[in-house]
Amino acid sequence: MRIFGKGRHRPSASWRQATDRAFTLIGDGRYEDAGALLTRAADLEPWLSESWFNLALLHKFRHDWEQARAAGLRAVALLDRDTGAPDWWNVGIAATALQDWPLARRAWQAYGLKVPGPATDSGEPLGMDLGSAAVRLSPEGEAEVVWGRRLDPARIEVLSIPLPSSGRRWGEVVLHDGVPHGERSTAAGHTYPVFDEIELWAPSPVPTWVVLLEAASETDRDALEQLASDAGFAAEDWSSSVRLLCRMCSESRMPSDEGEGEHLDPHDHSEPGHPGPLGHRTDGQLWVPERECGIAAPASLVRGLLDGWVADSPDSRDWRDLEEVC
C-alpha cells in the first residue's frame, strides 16, 4: 500500500512513546500537554492517518471544533479503506457542532450510513430515522441518563425532563459521542444505547418546574402527564422515574422499567421510602399518593395546567409547592 507515493509503514518507537504518553495525559485531563505530544507525533509520522485521528480526538475532547474538523479531514485523506472508519465519525461530530451540513452529510455517507436528501436550504441531514436512545447528561459531573430522540448520528433531542442538577431542559438538543457507554432495556425486550453528552447544541426556552402532587392513584398521575403532552409540553413523575446508580451500574446494561413495589432493584443505590430524587421504591406499598413531579411548560401555562388537572377530579388530586428549578 502506498499513500501519496510514500510506503505505508509501522510507526516509529518515538511516535508510539509520544502517543502513549499523550493518552495518559488526556486521561488526567492535561489536554495542553497531550496536544504538544500528539503534534510532535504528527510531525514524526505525517503519513499515518492515526496521527491526525488522535489529534482530532484530542480537539473533540477540548471542544475545539475547527481544529477537530481540520485534523479529521487530514486523517480521512490518508485512510486505506472506503467505509466504516471511525475517523469519518469524528469528522461528522465536528461538522455537526459547526453546522457544516455538507461535510456532515459527506461524513455519515462515507461511514456507510444512509442520509436522506436535504430537507432544508442548509442541507441539514434530517429524517435519518435513528429512533430512540438514552443520553448521559454531564457525564463528568453529576451524570444523569435521560431518554431522547436521535436526530442524526451526533445529536439527541431530550424528551425526558432532566433533574435541575444536570443544567439541562426538556426539548434541548445535545451533541453526543459516537461510542455508547451502557444500555437500557425495556420489558418488551428492546435494548437502547446510552451515549455520553459532549455539549449543549441547541437550548430550550421551556423552563423546568418541580411540584408536589397528591395523586390518589397511578391513573391520576398519568392524567397530568397526558394533559401536559396534549398541550405540547411534558410532565414526569420523578418519584417513579428516578434511580440513583453507581457509575458501574449506569454504564452497564440496565432495565428501564423500574415500576413500583416491594422488590427492590439491586442496582438501585437510592433510599427506599423516599419519593423523588432520593428513591423511587417503597417498603411493600404499591402506591404513595405524594409524588414529586417535574413539569416542562411555560410560566404562563404551568399553573393553569395543574389547576385543570385538579378540577377534573378534585377528590383525588391536589398540588402544592410549585417552584421553577431550571
pLDDT 10s digits, 128-187: 878 889 999 988 877 899 999 999 999 999 999 999 988 999 999 999 998 888 887 777
Instruction: Give the pLDDT score at 267.
Output: 44
Provide the whole-model pTM.
0.82
Same domain, 151 and 82: no
Q: How confident is the model over 249-269, as pLDDT tens digits?
A: 444 444 554 444 333 444 444
Do 178 and 210 sit in the same domain of this protein?
Answer: yes
Q: What single-letter DSSP state applies at residue 12?
A: P
7 within some domain: no
Residues 156 and 82 in one domain: no
The answer as to whether 181 is a domain residue is yes
If one counts the domains in the chain, the total is 2
How much of the chain, in percent, has pLDDT values that exceed 70? 83
Q: Could you tell me if 140 and 252 lie in one domain?
A: yes
Residues 232 and 305 grouped into a single domain? yes
Q: What does the chain come to in residues?
A: 326
Q: Does one domain contain both 172 and 308?
A: yes
Q: What pLDDT is recorded for position 129?
A: 78
pLDDT band, residue 23 (cuts 50/70/90): very high
**Contact status, residue 146 vs residue 158, Cβ threshold 8 Å:** yes
**Each residue's pLDDT tens digit, 24-44:** 999 999 999 999 999 999 999
Question: Is the per-residue pLDDT at 119 higher than 60?
Answer: no
DSSP, collapsed to helix, strand or coil, labels residue 85 as coil
Q: What is the reported pLDDT for 193? A: 87
Residue 32, C-alpha cell as written in the block: 495542553
- Which has more pLDDT, 138 or 16? 16
Q: Residue 100 in 3-state DSSP?
A: coil
Determine how many CB atoms are found less than 10 A away from the CB of residue 188.
6
| pLDDT at residue 303, rounded to an integer | 97
Residue 50 domain-assigned (yes or no): yes
Kindly give the residue spans of alpha helices, DSSP state H, lying in the chain: 13-27, 31-44, 49-61, 65-77, 86-97, 101-111, 218-230, 238-241, 247-250, 299-311
pLDDT at site 83: 79
Q: What is the pLDDT of residues 204-250, one digit of tens each?
A: 999 999 999 999 999 999 999 999 999 999 999 999 876 554 444 44
Which structural domain range is residue 170 located in?
127-257+267-275+287-325
Q: What pLDDT digit, counting tens, does each position of 56-106 carry?
A: 999 999 999 999 999 999 999 999 877 788 999 999 999 999 999 999 999
Q: Are residues 161 and 35 in the same domain?
A: no
User: CA gyration radius for the chain?
Assistant: 24
Is the same domain home to 251 and 319?
Answer: yes
pLDDT of residue 261: 39
Say if residue 241 is in the same domain as residue 138: yes
147 beta partners: 134
Residue that terminates a domain, selected from 87, 111, 135: 111
Q: Of 111, 142, 175, which residue sits at a domain end?
A: 111
Q: Is the predicted pLDDT of residue 8 greater than 70, yes or no?
A: no
- My answer on whether 68 and 198 are in the same domain is no
Specify if 5 maps to a domain: no
Based on the domain organization, do 319 and 226 belong to the same domain?
yes
Higher local confidence (pLDDT), 216 or 5: 216
- CATH number for 54: 1.25.40.10
- Identify whether residues 82 and 147 lie together within a single domain: no
The CA distance from 185 to 189, in Å, is 6
